[in-house]
A and B are shown apart, each in its own frame.
Chain A
Amino acid sequence: MIYLSLIVLIPLAAVLWQSAKGGAGGFLQQVSNPEAIAALRLTLLASLVVVLINVVSGTLIAWVLVRDSFRGKGFVNALIDLPFALPTIVAGLTLLALYGPKSPLGLNIAYTKAAIIMALLFVTLPFVIRAVQPVLAELDHEMEEAAYSLGASPIASFRRVILPNLLPAILSGTALSFARSVGEFGSIVLITGNVPFKTEVASVYIYGQIQSDNVSGAAAVSVLLLVISLLILLAISGLNRWGTRHDR
């Protein structure tokens, strides 16, 4: 407990303390700085887009990994965890190598908003897949077969039988990828160019404020990010309760 306080709680409390030093007025002034607002808006918007793409692509990939069988499936399955293992700065660099200025595909998305989305999709890839996969694997075939034999089309049976069962897993994977997207730094810093008001996200803004010695401004925006992470943690624990409500 002491260890935890020393390593985690006291430093985070220091951020709160720093942001509160200027009083409520000072805090509001720091947060309502137009550059800060633009960065926060971009962060939330980009995270939202990323999460929506992840819901579809993650569920689809989980489906293929569980229900389909083809050569090299084990390899693909192991590959999914690569974004967790790969340092974020390397993740950014790999995307820059393929989709950057010297792209062999002739596709240059460096320093645009699309690059932010791309980087976030890379680092959050495993969350929805890994949440949905075990649930889908445990799911009874019987219910689906019942739906088919009662004349449901594949789409109807997916939508009305499978999807409701997967929903808690999809949502908790989504919440995790949202949390990750909001705070992501390493993979974004190389590929976005960090142009204020255009491609600067909140974490990069905080970094910039620290570098230019405006610690209070950095702390104020950090507090907002901390609140978002706390809300997401609460949402996830709520979702877990809801997902296991039938077991209790």
Chain B
Amino acid sequence: MTARISLRVVALGYLALLLVFPVAMVFARTFEKGVGAAWAAVTSPDALHALWLTILVAAISVTANTVFGIVCAIVLVRHRFRGRGLLNAVLDLPLAVSPVVVGLALFILYSRTAPVGGWLAEHGIRVIFSTPGIVLATMFVSLPFVVREVMPVLREIGTEQEQAASTLGASPFQTFWMVTLPAIRQGVAYGVVLTTARAIGEFGAVSVVSGRISGLTETMTVYVQDRFQNFDLVGCYAAAVVLALIAIATLLLTDLFKPKEEQ
């Protein structure tokens, strides 16, 4: 009995020191100078722009990755083809590659001195140090989540209902829209939440490709670092609290959408 209690104390103590106290501390620091100062800091033009850019980038990447994720999961689960194992392995790459390496990869490919980047620049499209680069970086790092959440659900539901639908004369599109999609919607929702969280929180890759131009290419996470380096601690902590609140909201949402067996 004492062994059990002491294990519990050790486990909870470890979590408190590593996780709870530090996060609580940021909240405390933010409101040290009053709610007004914190509010003023998050509603400054640069902060609002960073927030807006973050939301825009997240919206584009989440939409693209959701469509891709559903299609890719269906292809991987329902079809057998050469290179399927390889495709499956490549999907996990974004989880294992360092964000800075992702940023560097995009930088090499799309900077003005590179062939691709140079060609695009001639046609008036800037990728690096501009929004498209940030979107590409975010899409890269948040790619696997929808696929990985939808695949097990697809495997679980089997093909019987889809076959029934096609024998009853439904077109492939109708079958997908009216049978498959409703069946996998929970997996999709869970994947979307995870993708969104990752997209909003990405820092390393974005900070390489964005050029960190304040009021132009700064996302929320880059803005936090920028404020920190400019010794504007109130602005820095306030922006961090906004991100932390988004993270906590994500946690609550994932709990809601988690597949039932896992609960």
Contacts and interface: CB of A to CB of B under 8 A. Distances in A.
Interface in A163-219: 179, 182-186, 189-190, 202-204, 206-207, 210, 215, 218-219
B259 to A, nearest CB: 12
Contact of B200 (A63, A87, A99, A222): A87
A60 B105 contact: no
Interface string B1-30: 001100110111011001111110110010
A203 B204 contact: yes
Given A3-B64, A86-B23, A90-B243, 7 more contacts: A11-B136, A57-B11, A80-B15, A90-B201, A98-B21, A222-B104, A237-B89
Contacts of B244: 86, 90, 94
A84 to B, nearest CB: 8
Interface in B116-142: 136, 139-140
A182 B8 contact: no
Given A64-B8, A207-B208, A93 B21 contact: no
B47 interface: no
Contacts of B262: 134
A158 B105 CA distance: 46
Nearest to A4: B90
In the A-B complex, the 3 residue pairs with the smallest Cβ-Cβ separation, listed nearest first, are A183-B98, A87-B201, A11-B105
Interface stretch (A25-33, A141-149, A226-234): A226-234
Q: Chain B contact residues (Cβ within 8 angstroms of A): what range?
A: 35 or more
Contacts, number: 219
Interface stretch (B149-157, B162-170, B175-183, B220-228): B220-228
B237 interface: yes
Contacts of A226: 97, 101
Contacts of A154: 3
Contacts of B97: 12, 183, 225-226, 229
Given A125-B19, A185-B203, A219-B108, A61 B255 contact: no
Interface of A is mostly: helix
A179 B248 CA distance: 25
B99 interface: yes
Interface string A89-120: 11001110111000010000000000000100
Given A90-B224, A99-B22, A15 B105 contact: yes
A68 B247 contact: no
B186 interface: no
Name the residue in A99, A185, A232 with the highest tally of chain B Cβ atoms < 10 Å from its Cβ.
A185
A89 B225 contact: yes
B59 interface: no
Contact of A210 (B64, B103, B243): B103
A9 interface: yes
A82 B246 CA distance: 11
A186 B221 CA distance: 9
